[in-house]
Amino acid sequence: MIHTDAPIQANPASPAVHFDAALIAKMSQQGPRYTSYPTADRFRAGYGHADYAAVVGQLGEAAPRLPLSLYLHIPFCESLCYYCACNKIITKEHDKAAIYLEYLKREISMQAALLGREQRVEQLHLGGGTPTYLSDEQMASLMAHLASCFEFADGDSGEYSIEIDPRTVDRERILSLRRQGFNRLSLGVQDFDPEVQKAVNRIQPDALTLDAIGAAREAGFGSISIDLIYGLPKQSLKTIGETLAKVVLASPDRISIYNYAHMPQLFKSQRLIVDADLPSDSDKLAMLGLCIERLTAAGYIYIGMDHFAKPDDELAVAQRSGQLHRNFQGYSTHADTDMVSCGVSAISAVGDSYCQNEKSLERYYAALDEGHLPVARGIELTRDDVIRRDVIGRLMCDFALSVRSVERAHGIEFGVYFAAELRRLREFEGDGLLDISDAGLTVTPAGRLLVRNLCMVFDKYFGTSNDIALQRMRYSKTI
């Protein structure tokens, strides 16, 4: 839902975000990232393709139908990055991608038949894995198939993005991606330092990254984004500072800086990282502080969580106007869309429901061979879920919440409905994380880095598990 009231604004003269190491050290804990609410660990296994089809059928009764945001998951990579927590398949046998592509097209066709081929697509994102693992010819075939199944908005109004690994492309490939319709590009970098790259098994010379950025600008991509990680093995304040200097010089439109969550109990590849090489918690905090200092000094706006953008970037503009949205890919400018995701493990958000595809290739292929969508689990949101999703989403995107807007949208009396939550928030107010008034909530610059902590107050599922150890294993630290 687009926020109809302008968000409550902090003092425009105050900094957008303030780094307070002592406050972060006190408040940081394990918690969800809230790319959805309820979070994906709340999906139930009994939700299948028939449930999803019923949800889509109910959408047909609405007028007008929402446009679509499409996500396609390409799971293949040629080499293993030790830090990676994505659903990926490491193989140099590219024939496997050809088989996968045929099944992916079959799923896309099924979705189009269910949703209606007249459905307008305003956003497309290819993630992975490594989407550029597909050859140029395979990518052209995939884009042609999509165009035959759905109506796409033109390149001026539509947002069509792809994640690339600079090690897998050259100038000609990037120019071809632009001709194929992509207008947004995201580059995985993580760190420029050779020793850090060696420690995580991702050797990527500077020239590969900088040449890819240059080619993207030559091709006319409307937005170029760089992904970095802090907290990797062998990183230090010196190395992260040198990486930041190179990033600022390259001047991408958006920068994502993720906190490396070392969870080898969940992700086998992380067991290949030497624990002794990891920076201490205090060093990681200092790295985060340096990232914020350097990027804001360079003119970037702190959007939220791990994201920075130039002031004229669509994300920054959307945030200022209260139109920013958060979904399974992070922050987005296309709020009023149903998100349909295809590919192994992909998660869709359609109507007031979420569903996830099978996580293994074998089960994914088997479901499509049986003639139905490969939905493995999901959840239908209750009215309470929808209300809490709205509240959490606005806090994550606006750092503010209008009581009147929530009451008008959901027919509740905010102070009564959330009486227990407001009592808990008073403690955070005492710590300087937010200001509470009759009009609503405003997250302070110091509280913006800890907004996940505030959102957890509104999460009725969080903290209900009796197995606290399992909960700690499941989530990364909020900072």
| DSSP assignment string, 95-133 | HHHHHHHHHHHHHHHHHHHHH-TTPEEEEEEEEES-GGG
CA nearest neighbour of 1 among 436, 345, 381, 307: 381
pLDDT of residue 20: 87
Strand 151-152 relative to strand 120-128, pairing: parallel
Q: What is the pLDDT of residue 326?
A: 87
Structure tokens at 470: 């399992």
Write down the number of H helices and E strands in the chain: 17, 20
Interacting residues of 101 by C-beta distance below 8 A, sequence separation 6+: 134, 138, 141, 142
Q: What is the spatial distance between Cα 6 and Cα 405, in angstroms, rounded to a whole number? A: 9
Type of residue at 119: Q
Give the separation between CA 184 and CA 434, rounded to whole angstroms: 34
- What does the DSSP assignment read for 151-220? EEPPTTT-EEEEEE-GGG--HHHHHHHHHTT--EEEEEEE---HHHHHHTT----HHHHHHHHHHHHHHT
Q: What residue has token string 């050859």?
A: 135
* Long-range Cβ pairs for the range 138-143 (8 Å, 24+): 138/97, 138/98, 138/101, 139/176, 139/177, 139/180, 140/176, 140/180, 141/101, 142/72, 142/101, 142/104, 142/105, 143/180, 143/181
At 6 the pLDDT is 42
Q: How far apart are CA 422 and CA 99, in angstroms?
A: 53
CA 58-112-89 angle, to 5 degrees, is 110
Angle (deg, nearest 10), helices 95-115 and 49-59 = 40
How far is the CA of 282 from the CAs of 25, 27, 273, 352, 394, in angstroms? Answer: 8, 14, 19, 41, 30
Contact 132, 165 (CB under 8 A): yes
Cβ neighbours of residue 145 under 8 Å, at least 6 residues apart?
105, 108, 109
pLDDT in tens, the chain (479 residues): 334 344 444 433 345 888 888 888 888 777 888 989 999 999 999 999 999 999 999 886 666 788 999 999 999 999 999 999 888 999 999 999 999 999 999 999 999 999 987 789 999 999 999 999 999 999 999 999 999 999 999 988 899 999 999 999 999 999 999 999 999 999 999 999 999 999 999 999 999 999 999 999 999 999 999 999 999 999 999 999 999 999 999 999 999 999 998 999 889 999 999 999 999 989 999 999 999 999 999 999 999 988 999 999 999 999 998 889 888 878 888 777 899 999 999 999 999 999 999 999 999 999 999 999 999 999 999 999 999 999 999 999 999 999 999 999 999 999 999 999 999 999 999 999 999 999 999 999 999 999 999 999 999 998 765 445 445 556 666 66
Q: What is the C-alpha to C-alpha distance for residues 274 and 315, in angstroms, rounded to an integer?
A: 37
What's the sign of the alpha-carbon dihedral 472, 304, 240, 199?
Answer: positive
What is the C-alpha to C-alpha distance for residues 202 and 310, in angstroms, rounded to an integer?
28
Measuring CA to CA, how many Å separate 414 from each of 144, 244, 411? 48, 43, 9
Angle value at C-alpha 289, between 12 and 204, nearest 5 degrees: 120
Peptide bond between residue 127 and the one before it cis (omega within 30 degrees of 0): no
Q: Are the CB atoms for 373 and 115 separated by under 8 Å? A: no
DSSP for 304-330 reads ETTEEE-TTSHHHHHHHTT--EEETTE
Q: In what helix (H) or strand (E) does residue 282 lie, and over which residues does it extend?
A: helix 281-297
Identify the helix (H) or strand (E) that includes residue 473.
helix 468-474
Distance of CA 306 to the CA centre of its chain: 10
What is residue 275's predicted lDDT score, i.e. its pLDDT?
Answer: 94
Give CA–CA dist 75/72, Å, rounded. Answer: 10
**Residue from 183, 278, 282, 185 nearest 234 by CA:** 278
Residue with tokens 């049986």: 370
Q: Which residues, 6 or more positions from 241, have their beta carbon under 8 angstroms from its beta carbon? A: 290, 294
| Strand residue runs (E) in 237-306 | 254-259, 301-304
